[in-house]
Amino acid sequence: MFLKNKRILISGLANKYSIAAGIAECMHREGAELAFTYQNERLLKNLEPIAKSCDSDILIECDVADDNSIKKAFNKLSNSWSNFDGLVHSIGYAPADQLEGDFVDVTTREGFKIAHDISSYSFTALAKAAKSLLKENSALLTLTYLGSIQTLPNYNVMGLAKASLEANTRFLAASMGKDKIRVNAISAGPIKTLAASGVKNFRKMLNQHSQRAPLGRTVTTEEVGNVAAFLCSDLASGITGEITYVDAGFNTAAMPSSEFAE
């Protein structure tokens, strides 16, 4: 129970397949007290049963595109929690037309702006809003993807936004270290979530991943959740500004092991 007496706010839980749902389950198992934010009314019905299974009844609307919504959300949170110990940012978005086709052809100024705003700036925005409520030895965590440092088809401007998010993680860590707040990221392997549904050839990508990854498979939201729980706990007290890969080793292998080769 390494998160006993820790209060952690989780964002980005859209449904039971969300990475944030795996994180919530693991954090609850480790004794954390949880609160949740959701993007809009429409997603609340999916969140309710999951929050309940985590013994949480603190559910707060927060659209990270809107400063006023963020401000209201933390005001509301402060009515339940006078302070807290951790925040999980599990939010990413680019307009669908940015994620299909040739990067140079499909990327627009507006698409770039939205991707960076929702997928990177929002982490700074939440850190800023949370700061005055965060206790010593708190931890912030975000979710990133390998597309930040290597190319792949269709990920396009999201790769740039994830590169920004990873730099954001390091600058937030440098900035908040003096307040004894740690800031880290998990780079997860591909998982079939809502954000991945509708992505062209996603099934093929999962197969490619399994073939090249040293463990010969993809990862689960529970595997990401376990590392998230660790990074937000005092077990990780010496880790900040770090990108931890939870990808069955995929990023470490340039070619498949002979066992998997043709």
What residue ranges bind ligand 0WE (CB under 6 A)? Answer: 92-94, 96, 99, 145, 152, 154-155, 158, 190, 195-196, 198-199, 205
- Rule CB under 6 A: say whether 193 interacts with ligand NAD: yes
The residue within the footprint of ligand NAD, chosen from 9, 91, 232, 243 (CB under 6 A), is: 91
Nearer to ligand NAD, 4 or 45 (CB): 45
Of 187, 199, 256, the C-alpha closest to 227 is 187
Enclosing H/E stretch for 202 = helix 202-212
Contact between 246 and 189 under an 8 Å Cβ cutoff? The reply is yes
Residues 250 and 210: their CA atoms lie apart, in Å, by 8
Number of neighbours of residue 199 by Cβ within 10 angstroms: 16
Enclosing H/E stretch for 53 = helix 41-53
Contact between 88 and 9 under an 8 Å Cβ cutoff? The reply is yes
Binding mask 43-72 for ligand NAD (x = CB under 6 A): x-------------------xxx-------
Give strand pairing partners of 181: 138
245 is catalytic: no
The residue within the footprint of ligand NAD, chosen from 3, 28, 77, 90 (CB under 6 A), is: 90
- Rule CB under 6 A: say whether 145 interacts with ligand NAD: yes
145 is catalytic: yes
Kindly list the catalytic residues. Answer: 145, 155
Summarize as ranges the residues that interact with ligand NAD (CB under 6 A): 12-14, 18-20, 39, 43, 63-65, 90-93, 118, 143-145, 188, 190-191, 193-196
